[in-house]
Amino acid sequence: MSALIDLNVSVQADDFDVGLELQRLRAATPQAGALVNFVGLVRELSAAGQLSEMVIEHYPGMTEKALQQIALQAAQRWPLLGVRMIHRVGRLPAQAQIVLVAATSLHRQAAFEACAFMMDYLKTEAPFWKKEVGDFGQHWVEARVSDEQAKQQWKLPK
Amino acid sequence: MSALIDLNVSVQADDFDVGLELQRLRAATPQAGALVNFVGLVRELSAAGQLSEMVIEHYPGMTEKALQQIALQAAQRWPLLGVRMIHRVGRLPAQAQIVLVAATSLHRQAAFEACAFMMDYLKTEAPFWKKEVGDFGQHWVEARVSDEQAKQQWKLPK
Amino acid sequence: MNITILYFARIKEVVNYSSEDVELPDGIETIVALKSWLSGRGDTWQKLFSGGGVVRAAINHELVDDMATFEDGDEVAFFPPVTGG
Amino acid sequence: MNITILYFARIKEVVNYSSEDVELPDGIETIVALKSWLSGRGDTWQKLFSGGGVVRAAINHELVDDMATFEDGDEVAFFPPVTGG
C-alpha cells in the first residue's frame, strides 16, 4: 500500500511557515489531488485560566523516531504520497503554532483520515510534555482520556 | 452550538495563497486551538489520460449560497470558530489549486470532522461542473458514487 | 406563468443555449411537469429528460427534487450531478 | 549490568535530575523490576512508582510496557503520559 514519496519530520524550537511547508510538500508530490493539514495552536485561555506561555519539553532522539513511525504507520494504512510533520519545543507564547501535520494523496479521504490518525497517535505516543504558565502559576498539562479514546478508534480488528 | 465568528466564502477565477488565507482565518479567530484545511488540486493524470487543463463551470449566485449553507450546516454540528471556503472557476492547468476549505475550533476533532463534512457536501451539492481537456480530447467529469456515499455517512438518524 | 430556465454543463451543450424565458401553459408548476412539457419539444429534449442521465434541478438557487413547485417569475435551473471540489 | 536512566517532565522535577548511569544488581532486567528497585531509594521514589500517577517507560527510544526487558548499555526512560500536539 505504501508508496510514500516524501516524508519529512522535524522537531524544532523555531516557528514554521505553513504556506511554505505546504508548497514544499506539493512540489515533492506533484501528482497529488488532495492536501490536508492540521495546525495546533497555543490557546490563550486554558482550562486553568489566562495563559502567558506554554513550555514544551521532549525526549530528543525519541521524538523524531516516534513521529516517523507514526507517519509510516499512516502510509501503510492509506495511499499517501507525502507527509510533513513539525513539532515545536521550548517556550511558546499564546496563539503560537505548536504542530503541523500535513499529507498529500490522490483522493481526499486518504489525506483526511491519515491526518486525523497521525494527530491522534502523536497526542498519545510522541514524547512531548506541555507545561502551562499563566496567572494561575504553572503546571504540567494532564493527558486527556479523550485523546487515548480517539486513538483506540483506529485499532484494527486482529 | 453555532458560535461561528468568521465565515468567508468566495467563488473566483483567481488563484489563492493558502498561507495568507490561513493567516487571515487565524487572525479572525485568535482563540482557536486547532486549524484544519483541505486543498483540492488538478491532477495531471486523470482517469482518461494525460490532462492539459481543467475547465470549471458554475451557477453564479447559487454557488456562493450553496457554500455558505454548507458552512452554516457544519457550524450547527460542530463548535467551529471560523470557516473559509474558496472555489475557483474557469480554466485551470494541471497542479493548479481548485478549492480550499478551512476551519478553526478549540479542539481538533471539530475542525477535522467539519472539514471532511464540508468537502463531502461541496462535492455533491455545490453547483460546479468540471470538464477535463487532454490528449484524450475533452469530456465532462462524471459524478462519483463514492462522493454521494461519503455524504450519506453524515446523515443524522431522524 | 412566466419563468426563466437556465441550463448548465453537459445539458447546456445538448440544448445548445444557456437560458430562456418561457411562458408556461396552466398546470405546469412542478419540476416533473416542466420536464415533461420540455420533452414535447422533440427528440433531443425527450432524450435529455428520460433515462439518458440524471438531470438535477434548482428553483431560485435551491436544489430541489422533481415534486418541487415553482411560481411566476421564478428561476429554474437544470444541470447534471455536480462535480466540483 | 549498567544502564542509563532518563527522567522527563513532572518526573524529572520530582526526582530532581534528568539522567543517571546506574549499575544494577543481578536479576533486575525488566521495567517492573527496575521500578521496584528504584522505589527502594526512599519515599519520593516509592510514591512516584506506586499509585501516584502513571509512569510510562521507553527502552532505547521505544515505548514499552512494564514487562519489557533491557540489556547492558541500554537507555531506559521514565516519563508521564505524553501531552504533545
B122 within some domain: yes
Q: Residue B134 has which C-alpha cell?
A: 487532454
List, in sequence order, every beta strand (DSSP E) within chain B: 6-12, 34-41, 45-46, 49-58, 80-88, 90-93, 97-105, 128-134, 137-140
Q: Given pLDDT bands bounded at 50, 70 and 90, which one contains residue A2?
A: low
**Does residue D53 carry a pLDDT above 80?**
no
* Residue B2: pLDDT over 90: no
Evaluate the CA torsion angle B28, B29, B35, B40 in order and state its sign. negative
Q: How many CA atoms lie within 13 A of A98 on its CB side?
A: 31
Q: Which domains does chain C have, with CATH numbers?
A: 2-79 (3.10.20.30)
Cβ burial of D36 (10 Å; 0-12, 13-18, 19+) is middle
| CATH code (residue B40) | 3.90.1170.40
User: How distant is the Cα of A148 from the closest Cα of chain B, in angstroms?
Assistant: 13
The residues facing A40 across adjacent strands are A99, B34
Which residue from B minimizes the CA distance to C55? Answer: B143
SS3 letters across A37-54? EEEEECCCEECCEEEEEE
Q: What contacts B82, CB < 8 A, 6 or more positions away?
A: B4, B5, B6, B7, B8, B25, B28, B29, B32, B102, B103, B104
Confidence of residue B47 (pLDDT cuts 50, 70, 90): confident
pTM over 0.90: yes
Instruction: Count other C-beta atoms under 10 Å from residue A77's C-beta.
Output: 15
Q: Is the dihedral of CA A75, A76, A78, A80 positive or negative?
A: positive
Residue C69 in grid coordinates: 413547485
Q: Is A120 part of a structural domain of the chain?
A: yes
| Number of CB pairs, chain A paired with chain D, less than 8 A apart | 71
Mean of the per-residue pLDDT values for chain B?
95
Q: Which of B62, B137, B132, B58 is nearest to B99 (CA)?
A: B58
Which one, of B43, B52, B41, B45, lies nearest residue B16 by Cα?
B41
Would you say residue D52 has pLDDT above 90?
A: no
Domain count along chain A: 1
For residues B63-88, give the mean pLDDT. 97
Selected for mutation to probe chain B from C4, C48, C83 (highest B CB count within 10 Å) is C83
Check CB contact of A98 with chain D, cutoff 8 Å.
yes
Distance CA B31, CA B5 (A): 11
Instruction: Please give the Cα distance from B48 to C58 (Å, whole number).
Output: 30
Residues 6+ apart with CB under 8 A from A14: A88
Hey, which residues 53-72 in chain A have their CB within 8 Å of chain D? 56-59, 61-62, 65-66
pLDDT of residue C23: 98
Distance of CA A142 to the CA centre of its chain: 18
Q: Domain span at residue B138?
A: 6-155
More confident residue, C31 or C52: C31
Chains C and B touch (3+ CB pairs under 8 A): yes
Contact B129 C77 (CB under 8 A): no
Q: Is B1 part of any domain?
A: no
Q: What angle do CA C68, C73, C75 make, to 5 degrees?
A: 55
- Asked if the model's pLDDT at residue C53 lies above 80, the reply is no
Q: How confident is the model at residue B46 (pLDDT cuts 50, 70, 90)?
A: confident
ipTM (interface pTM): 0.94
